[in-house]
Amino acid sequence: MVRRTSAGALGSARTGSARAGKRIGPSHEAGPYLAYLSLAHGLRLDADYVLSRNFDSLFVPKVAVGLGLDLDLLDSLSARMLQLGYAPVSGRSVLTWTFTRLLLMRGDADLRAIRLDDLTARRKRSSATAPGRRPGSLRASHVSNARRRMPMDQLAEIYQKACLTRLHGVHVLLFNIGQVPEPPFHGL
């Protein structure tokens, strides 16, 4: 049973009210199962859904192995990002954030299967479904405390630029390792 609390946050009879900025409900609670269905059974997830959620736990070793994610490959790609001049933390973050979303939208856990079509399709989807164009699609966790008072359209634009910057970083990497033959271009 789901009810509204006096503060307006969604709550359930089981947990009381939700903490501010936290989502609950069938879509949120089914997230790990949907990720499993995507990576283990080929279910392609919708861009709006994938862009509006955090999937940080997918590359945790005990989770990744069960989903067929190649952590050794991720480590070697992360090392290559360092060679390309990306900072240690930001390079790995760019990879895990972008790869997670690409893989979930593809419905395939194989990092080696990502091609230019996946990158360009992801760019088109993220532009068409930019957070903020659909109410509630920009999570509080995507917005730093310093920016929480900014207008939603401005926050959505900042988030979209960050998405495209991450996507471009992965394109640079995949081009440099020969997985994508087309060089990175402006706007991706």
Find the mean pLDDT for residues 107-128: 82
Residue 53 pLDDT class (50, 70, 90 cuts):
confident
41-55, 82-96, 141-155: which has the minimum mean pLDDT?
141-155
Burial class, 21, CB count within 10 angstroms (exposed 0-12 / middle 13-18 / buried 19+): exposed
Share the mean pLDDT of the chain: 77
Count CB-CB contacts under 10 A for residue 73: 13
Find the mean pLDDT for residues 33-50: 92
How far is it, in rounded angstroms, from Cα 103 to Cα 160?
19
Amino acid at 103: L
Nearest to 111 by CA among 138, 76, 84: 76
**Which tokens in the block code for residue 71?**
């952590």
Which whole-number Å values give the CA distances from 9 to 1, 56, 140, 143, in the listed order?
14, 24, 13, 18
Residue 180 pLDDT class (50, 70, 90 cuts):
very high
